[in-house]
Structure 1
């Protein structure tokens, strides 16, 4: 403690003994200014993934457009459109067999009067109702997958991939057995 106080007093005494002229000031030497090229111009946008997910939630495929992945747009619409088509088709088939069964219960003739029994109509209703419900799950799954894809893609666009880091396949021959051994090599170059 004594050495610390003595050292501080000694350094103050040295600064007081330096003669200074009027109007002169002492400046500390600082690091040279860093240029803009030293920093990456692509800054991390923390709201980018949230924006992409929000856009895809509002309009399916808009998050992929926001990310610049235009090639994913047909895939998104094909997935949502196909699953929606199957939902509508199964729902229509369910209603068709249900209406036929209701007509049969009231004593009217339906389109399946000579073809299907009452039990066949009940089984068809169960089958198409199950398929309709499953199709609805696929529609919701495709919609959610669209949102997740936009979010993950926006995160990965901001991932810094440096030329100094590489993962390369590697093949070495074992000199004792003569067999080739395959593997991966993770390399990091220090500048």
Structure 2
């Protein structure tokens, strides 16, 4: 059996030795260079440009990167922070004005109620002022966080746009249910195509 396999292998390789070429091409080779229309040329300043655009006008870096769907998210986050800042500032002023009027001896503020004893005590007004002030600070932090995330996202997205991403290499999560042992098996599936 081993000898037969060896003879078959030698026969296959020897058949290629009998091949002949009848004509020899003398024409020079012509190379055609076609610029790939899909892949962009590498621009090392693109991330800095996108970050600068986003720093000047929030969302402009995302428009530069052609990620238009991120612009409303950025403005919604920053707008929500500004909205809650203004709302908490208004509440803070209401609580502070009512507390100041009570210290001055007035009983006509909106939180006093109808009667001789206030429906909301002075201590609760102080707590409400502190809560409104803390919420104002958080609202400013949220707005600034969305602004900074806008800049960082534009920079990182511009970096990642310049990498070749294709489906030749892929890693996907794998979830398999084993009915025999009544358990779920987790894993990663790695695929490489040549």
| TM-score normalised according to structure 1 size | 0.68
Q: Which residue, 106, 121, 137 being the options, matches 2:104?
A: 106
CA RMSD of aligned residues (A): 3.0
2:81 matches 1:83: yes
Partner of 1:160: 164
Q: CA deviation at 1:45?
A: 1.1
Q: What secondary structure sits across from 2:171 in the alignment?
A: strand
Rate the CA distance shift 1:124–1:166 in 2: closer, same or farther, 3 A.
Answer: closer
Structure 1: 5+ residue stretches without partners:
1-31
Rate the CA distance shift 1:101–1:60 in 2: closer, same or farther, 3 A.
Answer: same
Rate the CA distance shift 1:128–1:170 in 2: closer, same or farther, 3 A.
Answer: closer
Partner of 2:23: none
Rate the CA distance shift 1:62–1:119 in 2: closer, same or farther, 3 A.
Answer: same
Rate the CA distance shift 1:134–1:180 in 2: closer, same or farther, 3 A.
Answer: closer
Partner of 2:66: 68
Partner of 2:18: none
Deviates more, 1:105-114 or 1:32-41: 32-41
Rate the CA distance shift 1:155–1:122 in 2: closer, same or farther, 3 A.
Answer: same
Q: CA deviation at 1:35?
A: 2.9
Tell me the matched-pair count.
154
Q: CA deviation at 1:168?
A: 5.3
Q: CA deviation at 1:155?
A: 1.3
Rate the CA distance shift 1:117–1:155 in 2: closer, same or farther, 3 A.
Answer: same
Rate the CA distance shift 1:129–1:171 in 2: closer, same or farther, 3 A.
Answer: closer
